[in-house]
Amino acid sequence: MLKGKKIILGITGSIAAYKSVFLLRLLLQEGAEVKVIMTPAAKDFITPLTLSTLSKNPVLTELFDEQSWSNHVMLGRWADLFVIAPLSCNTLAKMAQGICDNLLLAVYLSATCPVAVAPAMDEDMWKHSSTKENLQRLKSFGNSIIPVGNGALASGLHGEGRMAEPEQILEFIKEHFSVANELQGKKVLVTAGPTYEPIDPVRFIGNHSSGKMGIAIANELCNRGAEVTLILGPTKETVNNSRISIIKVTTALEMYEAVENRFDITDLTIMAAAVADYTPVKQATQKIKKHEAGLSLDLIKTRDILKAIGERKKSGQILVGFALETNNETEYAKEKLVKKNADLIVLNSMQDKGAGFNHDTNKVTIFSKDQVFEFETKTKQEVAKDIVDTIIRLYYA
């Protein structure tokens, strides 16, 4: 199943490190080629000699020594998958912050392959808000988190935080490779975030979109092997997935031009951006002074990007739009499907708690011409997975 797959196994300082030996053996038995990287602290728990003997590759621990320098960039490019198991609280925090004080972290920061982590820590550490935030950040970078187990912990306590068993991690890796290439060779375009329509040099018309939903979709598509271009409106969110090509835009017109330029060569386009529907007719060159009691702005409709590309869509191209509604949700979503010649419309309603703008969660219903798929409230990463799964099932299975 893993024959020919190149895997980097990263091991950090945790009592669960002894289980990495079993994981390594399982990966080798499945035919994978494995290179092991250890943090300095990991060597306090298991010896590099055991791992190098089993993997038949030198174990890498240092960025450099007196004679050589480890090419971390090439290591990250060599691998099909980088699995960090166990992932300690300390290394998790460093990964979340971009700290680079050992080889494992340098490879992580320069890896172009997907990254999966199997955290291991005591229950109190696992439940700490900073751990939750750090894991959330890793998810937003497109990394996969292998769920922790519940049971006996190194502290002698019982609870959540145990590293998943080697067999479970192996299953996760096999699953990763069985789905990872579903969109191999497909060129995909995703829009995300708001657009800002300038009124004068200091003011604009905008909306509350954070870009989180679209970024999660771009990450998920990338994990399935697609070649992803993300057209991203102004947002504070960062996209740290180096496999995604990002085009930053500000206005609806810039987003239109960016989509229009690339649409003809894309197989799949997903429009999650909240594009401004109106823009000022004129942009004042100087800051508008507040002399008058009131101010009227002349607004003109922006180009409807989804509609424009829907009209140009050729057979074989799949077009997915979003609908953000506050009322008559189903009716408006179905109307958009037809009017914009989309294959799917993903509806999210402002009436649903935890759905729509800015939240880390969303609740969506997907409409095709003859089917409806309803989903529960989930994290935006899980929603992205549902959306991509639905697209693959309907068009690429």
Torsions phi, psi of 127, nearest 5? -90, -5
By C-beta, is 114 or 193 nearer to ligand PMT? 193
22: contact with ligand PMT by CB under 6 A: no
Shortest approach of ligand PMT to residue 335 CB, angstroms? 10
Contacts of 89 (CB under 8 A, 6+ apart): 119, 121, 125, 131
Whether the Cβ atoms of residue 11 and residue 42 lie closer than 8 Å to each other: yes
Half-sphere exposure in the Cβ direction for 219 (13 Å, CA)? 26
| The one segment of 51-59, 94-102, 104-112, 352-360 that binds ligand PMT by CB under 6 A | 352-360
212: contact with ligand PMT by CB under 6 A: yes
Within the chain, how many helices (H) and strands (E) appear? 13, 21
219: contact with ligand PMT by CB under 6 A: no
357: contact with ligand PMT by CB under 6 A: yes
Contacts of 322 (CB under 8 A, 6+ apart): 213, 271, 272, 345, 346, 347, 348
Shortest approach of ligand PMT to residue 165 CB, angstroms? 35
Cα–Cα distance measured from residue 66 to residue 352, given in angstroms and rounded to the nearest whole number: 60
Among 304, 352, 382, 389, binds ligand PMT (CB under 6 A): 304
Shortest approach of ligand PMT to residue 336 CB, angstroms? 6
Shortest approach of ligand PMT to residue 229 CB, angstroms? 15
Report the candidate in 44, 45, 61 with the shortest Cα–Cα distance to residue 9: 61
213: contact with ligand PMT by CB under 6 A: yes
Shortest approach of ligand PMT to residue 305 CB, angstroms? 3
Cα–Cα distance measured from residue 208 to residue 234, given in angstroms and rounded to the nearest whole number: 11
356: contact with ligand PMT by CB under 6 A: yes
Q: What's the full length of the chain, in residues?
A: 397
- Please give the C-alpha separations between residue 216 and each of 106, 228, 247, 350, 364, in angstroms, as whole numbers: 24, 12, 16, 19, 14
By C-beta, is 113 or 324 nearer to ligand PMT? 324
> Which 99-158 residues touch ligand PMT, going by CB under 6 A?
none
Q: Known catalytic residue: 150?
A: no
Of the residues 207, 223, 348, 362, which is catalytic?
207
Cα–Cα distance measured from residue 178 to residue 4, given in angstroms and rounded to the nearest whole number: 14
361: contact with ligand PMT by CB under 6 A: no
Cα–Cα distance measured from residue 59 to residue 57, given in angstroms and rounded to the nearest whole number: 6
Q: What is the DSSP letter of 146?
A: P
> Which 259-298 residues touch ligand PMT, going by CB under 6 A?
271-275, 277
Cis peptide before 58 (omega within 30 of 0): no
DSSP string, 61-106: --SB-SS-B--HHHHHHH-SEEEEEEE-HHHHHHHHHT---SHHHH
By C-beta, is 17 or 344 nearer to ligand PMT? 344
Among 324, 344, 384, 388, binds ligand PMT (CB under 6 A): 324
189: contact with ligand PMT by CB under 6 A: no
| The one segment of 36-44, 74-82, 204-212, 366-374 that binds ligand PMT by CB under 6 A | 204-212
Lay out the site mask for ligand PMT across 221-260 (x = CB under 6 A, - = otherwise).
-------------------------------x--------
Q: Indicate which residues carry an active-site annotation.
A: 207
Give the interface with ligand PMT as residue ranges (CB under 6 A).
191, 193, 209-213, 252, 271-275, 277, 302, 304-306, 321-324, 336, 348, 356-358
